[in-house]
Amino acid sequence: MAFGKTADSRRRQGLVLLLSPVTLLLGVFFLIPLGIMIVYSFLEPGLYGGVEWNWYPYNYGRIIGWPLNDYETFEPIYLSIFLGSVKIALLTVLVSLLICYPAAFWVSRMSEPRKSFVLFLITLPFFANLLVRIYAWLLLLRPSGFINMALESLGLIAQPLDMLFSSFAVIVGMVYIFTPFMFLPIYANVEKLDFSLVRASQDLGAPPVQTFLRVILPLTVPGIAGGSIIVFIPALGNFIVPAFLGGSKVQMTGNLIERSFLQSRDWPFGAALSLLIMGSVVIIVMFQVIRSTRQNRGAA
């Protein structure tokens, strides 16, 4: 009896020892900053950055469009910027999904060495700095850039297309950055897809569309959901791509947050906007968790 107790407590001790670095890391680098952000978002902005320690709920009011004081009238500009960001992030998810879904099937059917080579190619962009890669897109998309030059010399266009500094350029840049994040979860899912089920469906006389909609698609939903969330979250908060490829004319909430801290010296408003993004991310992740637990329960 006594022996069992010591083993038990020893195991507990070991567990504490093993988990404490992670807890400490999360506590120090995640929870404390998050706490600071939450507190700041309810404080009055200091005149020159920083905060005044006064209760001040108007940062959130401003997001909804509430007039702050005599400087402003009711106008939901920040809400419209936020909805615009959601739209861009959703389009990014959609386009990268359309690219990655067929590609995942294609790669999963390859021979082993080719497969690993292609996977290596997909992770290759991570070896170069993000800013450099975005800058490369700037050079590709500009009026005298490579794409316009190629199209012109092929005689397809007479005037260079105005692609740079537009929503189109922003979505191209975002899809480019986030494609690997969409590809890998879908690929992992497709890779272990049981193709005998597909064959069974075909043997039983299901037309291809029905096989896809009722067999393949349901089986790959976890990959699609995982990839979409991993792409949507960073896309929603991105500010580099709209600043570079959107010429700062295309606004996302990320740009607004950056500007609150670095130009308008309004930290609490920046904190409130950041929490708005985090809040929407939490809601989406919760949906996913609920969905997957329900699915697991259904399977069990």
Applying CB under 8 A, which residues contact other proteins? 47-50, 68, 71-72, 75, 77-78, 80-81, 142-145, 162, 164-165, 243, 246-249, 251, 255-256, 259, 261-266
Rounded CA gap, 144 and 156, in Å? 15
For other proteins, the closer CB: 167 or 295: 167
Query: Among candidates 168, 165, 142, which has minimal Cα distance to 88?
Result: 168
* Cross-strand bridge partners of residue 44: 52
For other proteins, the closer CB: 17 or 47: 47
Tell me the backbone φ, ψ of residue 55, rounded to 5 degrees.
-60, 130
For other proteins, the closer CB: 170 or 231: 170
54: Cβ contacts below 8 Å, ≥ 6 apart? 43, 44
Nearest approach in angstroms of CB 70 to other proteins is 8
What angle, 0 to 180 degrees and rounded to 10, lies between the N-to-C axes of helices 217-237 and 253-262? 20
Nearest approach in angstroms of CB 81 to other proteins is 5
Nearest approach in angstroms of CB 233 to other proteins is 23
For other proteins, the closer CB: 48 or 53: 48
Nearest approach in angstroms of CB 144 to other proteins is 5
The two tokens of residue 186 are 């879908």
For other proteins, the closer CB: 145 or 226: 145
Rounded CA gap, 224 and 181, in Å? 11
Rounded CA gap, 108 and 118, in Å? 10
Nearest approach in angstroms of CB 50 to other proteins is 6
